[in-house]
Structure 1
Amino acid sequence: MRSIASRRLAAAALLAGSVVLACAVPAFAHVTVQPGTAAQGDYTAVAFRVPDESDTASTTKLEVNLPTDHPVASVATQPLPGWTAATEKTKLTTPLKTDDGDEITEAVTKITWTADAGTKIAPGQFQEFKISLGPLPTDTDKLVFKALQTYDDGSVVRWIEDAKQGQPEPQHPAPVLTLTKAAADGTADAAPAKTTAQAAPAPTAPTAASSSDSAARTLAVVGIVVGVAGAALGAYGLRRRS
Structure 2
Amino acid sequence: MPRSLARTAAVAAAAGLTALLGAGTASAHVTANPDTATQGSSATFALRVPNERPQAGTTKVTLRLPADQPISTVSTSPVPGWDISVNSEKLPEPVDYQGQRLTETVRSVTWTATPGNRIGPDQFQEFDLRIGDLPTDADTFVMAAEQTYDSGEVVRWDQPTPAGGQEPAKPAPTLTLTPGDGSGHHGSGSGAGQHGDAEAASAGSDSTARWLGGAGLVVGALGLGLGGGAVLRSRKAGRNGTGAQ
Q: Could you say which TM-score interval applies, normalised by the shorter chain? A: 0.7 to 0.9
Per-residue CA deviations over 1:32-52 (Å, capped at 9, x if unaligned) read 110111111122211111110
CA contact (8 A) 1:161 1:174 kept: yes
Q: Which residue of 1 aligns with 2:162?
A: 164
Give 5+ residue unaligned stretches, structure 1: none
Higher relative contact order (CA 8 A, sep 6+): 2
Question: How well do the aligned residues superpose, as a CA RMSD in angstroms?
Answer: 3.1
Alignment equivalent of 1:229, drawn from 203, 217, 221: 221
Task: Assess, with a 3 A threshold, how the Cα gap between structure 1 residues 167 and 239 changes in structure 2: closer, same or farther.
Answer: farther
Q: Give distance in 2, aligned partners of 1:228 and 1:36.
A: 36
> Does the CA contact (< 8 Å) of 2:9 and 2:219 recur in 1?
no
CA positional deviation for 1:240: 4.4
Contact 1:143 1:179 (8 Å CA) reproduced: yes
TM-score (norm 1): 0.81
* Pairing 1:95–2:88 present: no
Aligned to 2:240: none
Point out the structure with max Rg over C-alpha.
Answer: 2
| 1:186 matched to 2:183 | yes
Instruction: Report what 2:54 is aligned to.
Output: 55
Identity between Structure 1 and Structure 2 (%): 39
The number of equivalent residue pairs is 231
**Given the two structures, how large is their TM-score scaled by the length of structure 2?**
0.80
Structure 2: 5+ residue stretches without partners: 235-245
Displacement after TM superposition at 1:104 (Å): 2.5
Instruction: Tell me the CA shift for residue 222 of structure 1.
Output: 2.6
Cα distance between partner residues in 1 of 2:50 and 2:35: 16
* Residue identity matched to 2:119: I
2:26 matches 1:34: no
Query: What corresponds to 1:78 in structure 2?
Result: 77
Partner of 1:28, secondary structure, is coil
Deviates more, 1:116-125 or 1:14-23: 14-23
Query: Which of 170, 174, 177 is equivalent to 2:175?
Result: 177
One-letter identity of the residue aligned with 1:89: S
Of the three residues 110, 113, 133, the one matched with 1:112 is 110
Q: Please list, as runs of the form range in 1=range in 2, the aligned pairs for 1:124-135 lying within 5 A after superposition.
A: 124-135=122-133
**Structure 1 residues 16 and 70: alpha-carbon distance in aligned structure 2, compared to 1, 3 A threshold:** same
**Residue-by-residue CA offset, 1:77-126 (whole Å, 9 max, x unaligned):** 11111111101102234524455xx4222121101100011111100000
SS, match of residue 130 in structure 1: strand
Q: Is the 8 A contact 1:63 1:111 kept in 2?
A: yes
The 3-state SS of whatever aligns with 2:128 is strand
2:203 counterpart residue number: 211
In 2, Cα distance between equivalents of 1:216 and 1:187: 38
CA distance in 1, matches of 2:201, 2:12: 32
**Could you tell me which of 133, 136, 144 is aligned with 2:134?**
136
In structure 1, how many angstroms separate the alpha carbons of the residues matched to 2:197 and 2:74? 21
Please report how far the alpha carbon of residue 208 of structure 1 lies from its aligned counterpart in structure 2 after TM superposition. Answer: 4.0
Distance between the aligned counterparts of 1:69 and 1:31, measured in 2?
A: 22
Q: 1:188 to 1:237 in 2, by over 3 A?
A: farther
CA distance in 2, matches of 1:61, 1:181: 34
**Letter paired with 2:63:** V
Is the 1:13–1:232 contact (alpha carbons within 8 Å) kept by the matching residues of 2?
no
